[in-house]
Each structure stands twice: as C-alpha cells, then as structure tokens.
A and B are shown apart, each in its own frame.
Chain A
Amino acid sequence: AQSVAQPEDQVNVAEGNPLTVKCTYSVSGNPYLFWYVQYPNRGLQFLLKYITGDNLVKGSYGFEAEFNKSQTSFHLKKPSALVSDSALYFCAVRDNAGNMLTFGGGTRLMVKP
C-alpha cells in the first residue's frame, strides 16, 4: 500500500525567506509524486510533479521540488516566499498498482510580512 507523510501541520516563514514543505512517501514500485495547493474554499490546484528524469522539478509560481529516492522524500521549496503563498499544501503519490492519488495530511504554510 502506498502512503504519504507530511510531518509538519504548519510551516511559518517570513516573506522573502526561503521555504520548505516536507513530504516523504512509501510505495511498492516507482513513485509518481505530485504537489497541490489549496486556497480557502477552493479545490486543489496542481503545482508540479515528478515522473522520471531530473530529480529537481520546477513548477508553477516559482515552486520547485527535489526527488530523493534514497530518503524517499519529495520536499517542496521556494527561494523567496510571498504572503500570497499562504495556503494549504498537499503532497500526493501514485504507483502503477492503483488508480488513485494518495495524499498526505496537508501542511498549512503561513507567510508573514
């Protein structure tokens, strides 16, 4: 069975500082990894994904994530946080065995001016 862990319920960062939102996963085969963001009363918005190839994936709004196979991690990063980045972030994984995404519990990012 596949699973995703987001160890931090909330991450606080000052505007302009770098941010990291952590994600670790467990799958039986090759992982397909995704990050989504959710703003209040909205659906999930796709940010980026890792399928294969380069371990550093770049996505929307200046976000990037690094796939680390040995640590089974896929942390989300941004060099300089904006107040508008404040939202709920979800990491998700899928493998060849199932039809669905399995999500982590979400991390609330708070960027303070």
Chain B
Amino acid sequence: GAGVSQSPSNKVTEKGKDVELRCDPISGHTALYWYRQSLGQGLEFLIYFQGNSAPDKSGLPSDRFSAERTGGSVSTLTIQRTQQEDSAVYLCASSLGGLVGETQYFGPGTRLLVL
C-alpha cells in the first residue's frame, strides 16, 4: 500500500516569498502531523490534525506558518514571507486514529532552502 507522500521533494525559494508544502497521508489515517528537521533544532513538532477537531498548533514557530487539512485527508503547510532560518526538511506523518501508542508513519519530506 502507499505510504505518506509529500510534494515537492525539494523547494528553493527567495527570502520573502510564500511557499506551500503538500502532504498526502496514508489512506484511512485520521491523524496527521507536521514536523520540521533542521541542523540547529533537530526534529520539532509543528502542528497536529485529528479528524474534525481543532488542530493543535502549539508547535508553530511564528504566525508566518499555517496549515490546513481539507476533507480530512490532504494537508498543506504554508510559510509566508519566508526567512533563511525557515530552511529545513519538513516532514509529514500520519497515524490511524491519533491515539498515544500508535505508530506515526513519515513521508520522505520536503527539503526547503530559502536563499
């Protein structure tokens, strides 16, 4: 079966531009997570969606970051007015129901470089 997919795999943008990163979770998974992996900060949580509940946005680093999940499936992470410190690998994960002991399955990531 298909795993978590993300697009684009690589994105190069100029400082100040907006970018959109896409995540397709595993079919049937109701929980979706975004994480960021950077050299200085390691792996850090950004945002969590579970079904129709309000998302947990507690990890978003600034108001330039936002995410939505349409139809309970595909999610888009948007970064407005990108800064060089936004350069990182953005990882999406999904799990079956969001329960605490469930395995989160990760996509290949989108490598973002802000020039």
Contact = CB atoms under 8 A, between A and B. Distances in A.
Contacts of A105: 42
Given A99-B50, A102-B45, A94 B108 contact: no
Chain B contact residues (Cβ within 8 angstroms of A): what range? 20 to 34
B7 to A, nearest CB: 13
Interface string A78-113: 000000000000101011100111111110000000
Contacts of A102: 45
**What DSSP secondary structure best describes chain B's contact surface?**
strand
Contacts of A45: 106
Contact of A96 (B33, B42, B100, B108): B100
Given A49-B101, A94-B100, A99-B56, A106 B42 contact: yes
Given A100-B33, A100-B48, A103-B43, A43 B107 contact: yes
Contacts of A36: 106
A32 B101 contact: yes
Interface string B12-45: 0000000000000000000001010000001111
Interface of B: 4, 33, 35, 42-45, 48, 50, 56, 59, 91, 93, 98, 100-101, 103-109, 111
Given A41-B108, A94-B101, A100-B35, 13 more contacts: A36-B106, A43-B107, A45-B106, A46-B104, A46-B106, A51-B101, A52-B101, A90-B43, A99-B56, A99-B98, A100-B33, A100-B56, A101-B33
